[in-house]
Amino acid sequence: MNAKRKRVVVTGLGVLSAIGKNRAEFAESLLAGVGGIKSSEMYNRYFENCYASELVDDYDYAAHIAPDVLEGLDLVALWSYRVGREALEDSGLFGNAEYLREAGAMIGVSSAGTEAFLPVLLNNDDAVSDAKVRVAGSYSSAGPGVAALFGLGGGYEVIATACTASPNGIGLAFDAIQNDKNKIVLSVGAEPLYMPTFAGFKVLDAMSDGPCSPFSGTPGMSVGEGAGAIVLEEYEHARARGATIYAEILGYATSCDAYHETSPDPKGDGAALVMSFALRNAGLEARSIEYVNAHGTGTEANDKAESAAIRKVFAERTDVPVSSTKSFIGHNISSAGIMELIACMVTLPKKKIPATLNFTEARPYVGDLNVVANTPGDGSVNLFMKNNYAFGGNNCCIIAALEPESVPTPPATARRVVITGLGSLTSLGIGADAFFAGIEAGRSPSQEVDLQVIARADAAADGEQSPVFWMSRNPGVRKILERLPLDAGGRLRLRTHQVEEFSPRKHLRTVDVRKLQPVSIFALVAFQQALKDAGLKISKANREELGMILGLSRGPQTAIDNYFSSLSPDPANARISEFSKALYNSVASQCSITQGVRGYNTTLATGYSSALGAIAQAYEVVRTGMQNYMIAGAADESAYGFSLMIHAQNNFLNYGLADQDFRVYGEDSRGFHIGEGAGLFLLETPESAVARDARIYGEVLGYGRACETTLLFSKHAPVGDGPGVSGSQAMARAIRAALTEADLAPEDLDLIVGSSWGTAEADRRELEGIAEALGDAAAGIPLTNLNGYFGFVEAAGAGLNLMGALRSMHSGTIAPIAFAPTIHGEFAGRFDFVLAESRRAQKIRRALVTGASEGGNCYAVIVGAGDSV
């Protein structure tokens, strides 16, 4: 069917940088040619001749945030609050609970979860903060932080594609508004300059010996820190409330070079491709663009590739102005794109084109590019392009116009989306057949691990050392770890579900598996399984129309532990080989590089259940015609390093050593056994599936996303008037949104598959949310949860439960909840729980799958039977 394409506009701006602590100061410095890259006060004590764009944050956070909340927040959350508040105030929305309870958030980060552990990384005697580990110790923490601080209840995603994270977040916000999931989305990027980032680029020898000079002079980059936020809003909604409109977002795209882990394609083909994709999405041609804000890091590799890419795309126009804002503020990694987009929106309306500072003699490969050098150019610009590129070949391009309604909206087609390929790797085995067979046989293969967590002076250290062992000399770390049920020797015994031993080389014959981290191996094997199951072969003809979205929780934990441990005691000895692997986007990038896939590529680090967020976004990408095929899902590796400290704080783990100790929804539910693996899906249109004679497992009928806003505020109300959104309310809202999109009533559902991880809080949030959304109908719909069979695979678990739902549709049988728990009295009788003694055969036409992150972000996905397509 033909759907009306909505216009998406920017109605609020907020920025924090070394050249301005708000949008007015930022604009003034850009127009005056004042740069912020100077000799580093932070890092010259560790390295020689360091330059960076560093800021002094003098904001009085205590005047706005309660003390017991403030003590747990890191700079990522605080800077997000500062710029987010400026943007929301600018938009006239700050404190307006009516609007904000429905608003979403997209947060681009690269260094979240780092600050809590800096005392250890910097080898000083400061104790690690108990509060910061609890609140800000995980990568996904930026999501619930932003949601709670502003009372945003419309759901969030944490985007982790390094240098393209914030513009990718803007793209996801654009899609959420297009599909009526939100009228308003706050998009944020925040990047404090922490040691792991600085040391990585320094040891890579990528730094300039002075302020960087993109496209000219001696190659080299300057790193920076800062944050940016924009309010995106549906145009008619913004007009109706009389909002100021800075620009209209016309379209965006992401892609992957599929070339190298750290270097861009030197021919610029990947960068050119993403520009072409974005122009296609916006319904424009290159000749319409009047200015390009380049990625422009200043390195030889980037500037050479980017120059070639711009010449390819703008072959008919050598006069289009090009400049790099990084010459002012350095490379702000995850926040770079959004800050540079804001730079365009505060200078171009004044008929001034941002300059490239420090420009001397153009490098030979720059050729005839029209680089705006040293002073702002004069000119009237309406249509402009913002480009960003990242390690792993992740590319992003945004097309915008200063004047809303200045170009026609392109036609949009809301295509149906089906699932045709399943790929899994869990303790149950490799491939969907092994996964289903294990569940049907009632298997729950697990093993006991014995980890040396801390050293005890009066006991010999034996057993396998946990990666967190080296940190335990810090008194704060030790205090936290001693909350675990350690024995007299400082050891911890756990029941875990691990991927059975197998030969990766047998499945990954074209890649050197010795260089891969476990989570990348899991994702790659599942990727290949999904393609094989769908009967889709990658070729030159389709590799640009196949993309990937991967959800992660702990991410590449082995590489992170290895890299972080190499920083202490001397960061100059940082392991270069581990730096790029420790980036969250390295996993999806490695999949695309290995398989030669060049389409849409992004990574969501929203934490638990982020597989459903990845599948929902892949559905959007195929539905709107951005790509024809998408691989989506999540992967996790067993993690006993930094994440072990987080588990010690949140008390989610079940320390029972029997398989049946992990039970969900039970009177005796007390947490989960750790699982690992991957679950990936191939999504496409029914037409392409039928043309290929592919098996259709099911159709994605709709999804919903919402989040609780009270997580950080057990004693204090969120910003604004009125109550916040509780976890069960968020789950109910997500389910209602999915039903609305699917055009279904609760009575139309035949199956509910939950993904709770077995704590009382998680069980209650899920079940009360289901009951609130479905009402009396909930008691008549079978409800199961499969996590007990394969352990709780944090990011991937909800996706694996979705696989179970699809299997039930085909087999006509519903697998029971593992280990037949005695249902908690509060819920017994209110739901039709499928237990071992009630295993049943039933025709399933439509299934609801639910999941939630540890930060209270709730998902609901509804799928329909494949034979009805």
What are the catalytic residues?
163, 295, 331
- Residues 63 and 316: their CA atoms lie apart, in Å, by 54
Please, are residues 30 and 354 in contact by the beta-carbon 8 Å criterion?
yes
Q: What tokens does 481 get?
A: 């770890």
CB atoms closer than 10 angstroms to residue 744: 17
Q: What tokens does 521 get?
A: 């191996």
Q: Which residues on adjacent β-strands are paired with residue 108? A: 159, 189
Q: What tokens does 620 get?
A: 């959007």
Checking phi first, is residue 252 left (phi over 0); if not, alpha (psi -120 to 50) or beta?
beta
Please, are residues 213 and 360 in contact by the beta-carbon 8 Å criterion?
yes
Radius of gyration from C-alpha coordinates of the chain? 25
CB atoms closer than 10 angstroms to residue 867: 10
SS3 assignment, position 52:
strand
Please, are residues 832 and 779 in contact by the beta-carbon 8 Å criterion?
yes
Within 708-761, strands assigned E span 751-753
Which residues are CB-contacts of 23 (< 8 A; sequence separation ≥ 6)? 13, 14, 15, 86, 90, 342, 346
Determine the Cα angle at 849 with ends 861 and 805, to 5°: 115
- Residues 733 and 755: their CA atoms lie apart, in Å, by 17
Q: Which residues on adjacent β-strands are paired with residue 418? A: 684, 699
Checking phi first, is residue 35 left (phi over 0); if not, alpha (psi -120 to 50) or beta?
beta
Please, are residues 743 and 776 in contact by the beta-carbon 8 Å criterion?
no
Q: At what angle do helices 557-566 and 642-650 cross, to 10 degrees?
A: 110
- Residues 368 and 408: their CA atoms lie apart, in Å, by 32
User: Which residue type does 723 have?
Assistant: P
Residue 680 half-sphere exposure toward CB, CA atoms < 13 A? 37
- Residues 214 and 371: their CA atoms lie apart, in Å, by 10
